[in-house]
Each structure stands twice: as structure tokens, then as C-alpha cells.
């Protein structure tokens, strides 16, 4: 009788046992995918077109994947991550081959630490040490170009609305220069054509020997 009851109970539980076994497999698979979803690694390579990267994490390396940009629509920004830059990998599908991963770049590391510890500054530093810094306490914007040139292109005009423009070096213009009275070209016309009256004879003097 005891064996019969045990067989009946086991038969009734068989369906539940199979369900539990299936759920255990699904839970194991979910754990595996969750473990694959977020990894920390370092940028290891650039694609030839410099639009994708590879990231090494542990003993593995991703295929060519995209990285997160601050904006990528009508407004777009581009910065190629540095080799060795730390990145957080988001594996969207949670698979083993990382093909659906996206790299979140910009995580400070020992190799690339934060460029300042001043909480009053917003600072960006480039590979040649050129920097753009704004201090929101002193209200000072500093653009420090270590070498090369700065170029601003505007098809209409550039307006500087300030009480004083202070230049430490020379100023050169390919076109005319005008103040609130007249242009330098007009001043040259006046200078080159002007005459004085001789104090002795009251006759007009000749034009300047050397024109501007």
C-alpha cells in the first residue's frame, strides 16, 4: 500500500517536477545573460574608418562596436575614444559574443585621470594640452592653445560686444578697417590729398611726398 501511494504521489508531482526543472534552466540562462550585460573594459582598437572600436574585458575582446556619443541626431558630436580609455560595455542582448554591445566611454582611470579637482571649473583638455576652461566663480573663460592657430569662419560677420578689446600682438586685416567716424581707407585719401597753407606766403603747400 505504501509503495502504491508513493507511486501515485510521484506521478502527480512529475508534471511539477518538469516545470521546476524548466524554470531552473531559465533562471540559470537569465543569470548568465545578466552577468554578460554589464562589463568594464578598455578600448583596444579603432576601425579603419574610425567609427567603431573594440573593447577588451577580462580575457575577451568585443567585435567592432559603436560607442556612446553625447548627441547623434540633427545635432551631432564626434570624439574618437583613446586607446586604453576605460569603458562600460552594455550588452543589450546579453549574448556571449558581444555583437550587440555599446561602449559607454569617458570613465576616468589611472591611465587617463580627471584633468582637475577644482569643483568651480569646467575643463576640457586635448592631446596636445590645448585646453578650454571656464571658472564659474571668477566668471573667466580661458582658451589656451599650445600651438597652431585658431580660426573662426562666419559668412556674414563676427560681433564682439565688449567695452574693450585688448590685443597684445599685431593686428592685420586683408580688408578695410572702420571705426565710428570713417574707415582707414578714407583717412588715407584725406592724408594723401591734403595741403597746408604756407605761414610766410600763404600759398598752399604741395601734397605729401609719400602716400600712405
Tens of pLDDT, residue by residue over 62-85, are: 999 999 999 999 999 999 999 999
For residue 171, name the pLDDT band (cuts at 50, 70, 90): confident
What's the confidence (pLDDT) of residue 176? 76
Residue 163 domain flag: no
- Judge whether residue 112 has pLDDT over 70: yes
Distance CA 59, CA 121 (A): 38
Residue 47: give the domain boundaries: 36-112
> Up-side HSE of residue 188: CA atoms within 13 Å toward CB?
9
Residue 64 domain flag: yes
Q: Is 88 helix (H, G, I), strand (E, B) or coil?
A: strand
Residue 9 domain flag: no
Residue 159 domain flag: no
Residue 108 domain flag: yes
- Judge whether residue 28 has pLDDT over 80: no
Residue 204 domain flag: no
Which CATH number do you get for residue 63? 2.40.50.230
Q: In what order do the strands lie in the sheet with 121-125?
A: 121-125, 131-135, 140-144
Q: Number of folded domains in the chain?
A: 1
Residue 168 domain flag: no
The b-or-e profile of 178-198 (16+ CB within 10 A means b, else e) is eeeeeeeeeeeeeeeeeeeee
Residue 76 domain flag: yes
Amino acid at each position: 500500500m505504501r509503495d502504491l501511494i508513493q507511486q501515485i504521489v510521484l506521478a502527480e508531482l512529475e508534471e511539477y517536477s518538469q516545470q521546476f526543472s524548466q524554470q531552473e534552466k531559465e533562471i540559470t540562462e537569465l543569470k548568465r545573460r545578466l552577468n554578460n550585460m554589464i562589463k568594464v573594459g578598455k578600448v583596444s582598437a579603432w576601425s579603419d574608418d574610425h567609427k567603431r572600436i573594440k573593447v577588451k574585458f577580462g580575457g575577451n575582446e568585443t567585435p567592432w562596436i559603436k560607442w556612446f556619443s553625447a548627441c547623434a541626431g540633427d545635432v551631432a558630436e564626434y570624439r574618437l575614444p583613446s586607446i586604453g580609455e576605460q569603458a562600460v560595455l552594455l550588452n543589450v542582448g546579453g549574448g556571449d559574443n558581444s555583437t550587440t554591445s555599446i561602449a559607454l566611454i569617458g570613465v576616468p582611470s589611472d591611465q587617463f585621470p580627471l584633468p582637475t579637482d577644482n569643483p568651480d571649473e569646467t575643463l576640457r583638455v586635448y592631446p596636445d594640452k590645448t585646453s578650454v576652461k571656464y571658472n564659474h566663480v571668477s566668471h573667466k573663460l580661458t582658451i589656451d592653445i599650445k600651438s597652431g592657430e585658431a580660426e573662426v569662419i562666419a559668412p556674414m560677420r563676427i560681433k564682439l560686444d565688449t567695452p574693450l578689446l585688448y590685443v597684445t600682438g599685431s593686428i592685420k586685416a586683408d580688408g578695410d578697417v572702420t571705426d565710428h567716424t570713417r574707415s582707414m581707407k578714407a583717412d588715407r585719401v584725406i592724408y594723401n590729398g591734403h595741403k597746408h597753407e604756407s605761414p610766410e606766403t600763404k600759398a598752399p603747400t604741395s601734397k605729401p611726398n609719400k602716400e600712405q
